[in-house]
Structure 1
């Protein structure tokens, strides 16, 4: 299937490239009939071929007209269908008009809400999300071709002897034109609707497109079909569902689309009424609501231009990421509430606090540098200047322990704290021995040796532990 589509697409692409190479003048001139047939426009090419449409619609073409029309509407909102199927699964006892009333406050399109009246239908759709989206895309791009496909399949089932009137349905054949026959399917009792179950490979007789076999959906688990023997020869019907207003759709076979009965629609959709009375039969044409698409991209460029003009799919991408006007307004309101709860100007206050913090750090650094210069003189000042980068790094990383220890050592003339801060912070002077630090280390070593000799006992052979240096370091001794 994919290879065939690719070959067809490649041929069309070749014709388009040949048309482009002919130049602007050729593109603007009126083509001759032969050239128009040889180089069809990519926009006029159907999104789905006849074989693909029959394959897609085979599982639902024999449903009652009203239910079929609302299924075609609902499939254009695949995200809503998925949520409605999940709701129906969580409420297995809800069906008919009462189920539709229970979901009246759900943000789904009314066509999707109507399907909760038929839980077995949603149970099948929940297992076929790709099929749902493909049918919706086909109906948006090629509504008349979809309706023609349904009539073609019904005629095929009738010819095979598997589509006829019975206790569950009424099959009405009308000759709309000398060359066109319309087959309608209506409930025998308008107040009770039976959903058929059938195997497309059986009910339609010999399938005309072996490369595009129709899918078969057995009855979903948990839904009994008493006349299961009917599956072997054609259609089987489960329990009927009492319906009063939930089926308000209709198939406009002559116009190649679907319509809505205003009175029946308004009786069940009290929160989303249609204004006006419709035509003489009380019907109005159905229009796709792009807002309920909820980020699902449109398949073809024609649908994108029709339902999202001038944005090139950008709105769908933003909505898919959750960026809609309503959500942006919610975020802005939340931000404003936060500002009011903090006294107003929270973001401005935050920036001012950050600036004040930087000023405090700079003031501490300058004060520390002045103290160090006064306590150590010119020689120590060079060491301090080299290590100020390490102290500032310690302050920025909240390493207060290094900064405090370094400040104490500077006041005593030592460099141990600075040496540790420089090593840990990766300063530009890491590993470089300063002259003042070298003299301090030498003084401390000599002091330690003198202290050790003064405490050494007179008797030899007794081991004495080396005394621990004072916490402030040994840098307080005078320079020799």
Structure 2
């Protein structure tokens, strides 16, 4: 006999529900977290895999990288700029890109060309890392701590002349995964000089616990790290002197990044923020059209919500400056000039359209030149044909016309008559004068010759 739940007493129903849930309580906490995570969330294995190349960076530098990775289009542009300016670094490099339409977190990375060199090796990795930090900031920070403990246990993470490694009691993670007993902090040994570590992520963490998810590894550029391949431990290139380029830092245990407002305003002179804007928030306007990976991020950042414009103060989107830019665009449009591009994507689209238009114009110019040449050739051929026709007509007219040197050449009788008339005239001119004229011949006395060579006659 089948008994439905509605036939059981309330106490029995509660007991059945509790008994069914009891075995789940014995499952590991991590398994519970994985079961409750969204279907499109990254697993702990995937997060460790993607964070392995950066987890041993100083906290402030890693915070800048994670913020910047949420704007993968801007990062790609910054990588190109750094390749074109390989010797630019530090605060001075950041000021050189102050007019770029990149997010300030991306601008700060040009102070460290070796970091952009690494990020430029795999843009897809950068985008995945940014998507993970947007959707799962606590899980990403837990992954960093997990990797640091592994490197420390393997003897490859300790204080050096370049880095200061310390621990502090864990504040308690907001994730469902139980926090570790301590949080590992990595700081520059000299607050004014930052050394970017390079390491082989396949060896620095000891035995990798996830064979199906081997760590990402991108060999460092010899330009910044001379000396060849890395086998174990950390290597350092030239230190970067900075005073304001790094203005973010982790707030461990709370899943966010704190902003040093004084440093931020010092390096971003045209994008000042208020004293209360000391917590980082992603600005969807600087995403530059790159789609979000997970549903929650698409719902939160993929569309404009009421008041979204007022939340842009951290990124320096001042309404007065925006109004000035709009007036400038309108003025340029009225004078026949194209307004400046509003984003990197728009600038790239315009450049592509201009290139296509130029190609079409060049092709059209070649076609027009060919058409003009063909028309000229046809006109020349027509004129030549007309000239030949005119010559033929003139020749035929000369043969039939009466008033030319060849008149009568085609009439033998006329030719003989003319010849006879000429012969008669010639014979008459040869007869004696008496026979011709019939009158007296006139004679003149001859003048005596002069004598004396011109002497006067007497």
State the TM-score, normalized to the length of structure 2.
0.58
RMSD: 3.0
**Paired residues of 1:225 and 1:236 also in contact (CA < 8 A):** no
| Deviation of 1:257 (Å) | 2.0
Deviations 1:359-409 (A, max 9, x none): xxxxxxxxxxxxxxxxxxxxxxxxxxxxxxxxxxxxxxxxxxxxxxxxxxx
Moved more, 237-246 or 141-150: 237-246
**Paired residues of 2:94 and 2:107 also in contact (CA < 8 A):** yes
| Deviation of 1:332 (Å) | 8.1
> How far, CA to CA, are the matches of 1:204 and 1:179 in structure 2?
18
Q: Could you say what secondary structure the match of 2:91 adopts?
A: helix
Q: Could you say what secondary structure the match of 2:250 adopts?
A: strand
Q: Which residue of 2 aligns with 1:275?
A: 274
| Deviation of 1:233 (Å) | 2.5
> How far, CA to CA, are the matches of 1:257 and 1:114 in structure 2?
18
**Paired residues of 1:100 and 1:114 also in contact (CA < 8 A):** yes
Q: Highest Rg: 1 or 2?
A: 2
1:207-218 aligned at under 5 Å gives the runs 207-218=208-219
Q: Could you say what secondary structure the match of 1:250 adopts?
A: strand
> How far, CA to CA, are the matches of 2:162 and 2:123 in structure 1?
29
Q: CA 1:102 to 1:138, structure 2 compared with 1: closer, same or farther past 3 Å?
A: same
1:270-309 aligned at under 5 Å gives the runs 270-276=269-275, 284-309=278-303
Count the aligned residue pairs. Answer: 286
| Deviation of 1:328 (Å) | 11
> How far, CA to CA, are the matches of 1:183 and 1:42 in structure 2?
27
**Paired residues of 2:246 and 2:263 also in contact (CA < 8 A):** yes
Q: Which residue of 2 aligns with 1:82?
A: 76
State the TM-score, normalized to the length of structure 1.
0.55
Deviations 1:283-338 (A, max 9, x none): x2100000000100000110011113479xxxxxxxxxxxxx99999998787667
**Paired residues of 1:197 and 1:219 also in contact (CA < 8 A):** yes
> How far, CA to CA, are the matches of 2:122 and 2:38 in structure 1?
29
Structure 2 unaligned blocks of 5 or more: 1-16, 25-31, 172-178, 306-321, 337-458
Q: Which aligned segments of 4 or more residues in structure 1 are displaced greater than 4 angstroms?
A: 32-35, 40-43, 325-338
Q: CA 1:331 to 1:240, structure 2 compared with 1: closer, same or farther past 3 Å?
A: closer
Q: Which residue of 2 aligns with 1:184?
A: 185
| Deviation of 1:181 (Å) | 1.0
- Higher normalized contact order (CA 8 Å, seq sep 6+, divided by chain length): 2
Q: Which residue of 2 aligns with 1:246?
A: 245
> How far, CA to CA, are the matches of 1:266 and 1:157 in structure 2?
36
Q: Which residue of 1 aligns with 2:427?
A: none
> How far, CA to CA, are the matches of 1:337 and 1:128 in structure 2?
43
Structure 1 unaligned blocks of 5 or more: 1-31, 279-283, 312-324, 339-480
| Deviation of 1:272 (Å) | 0.8
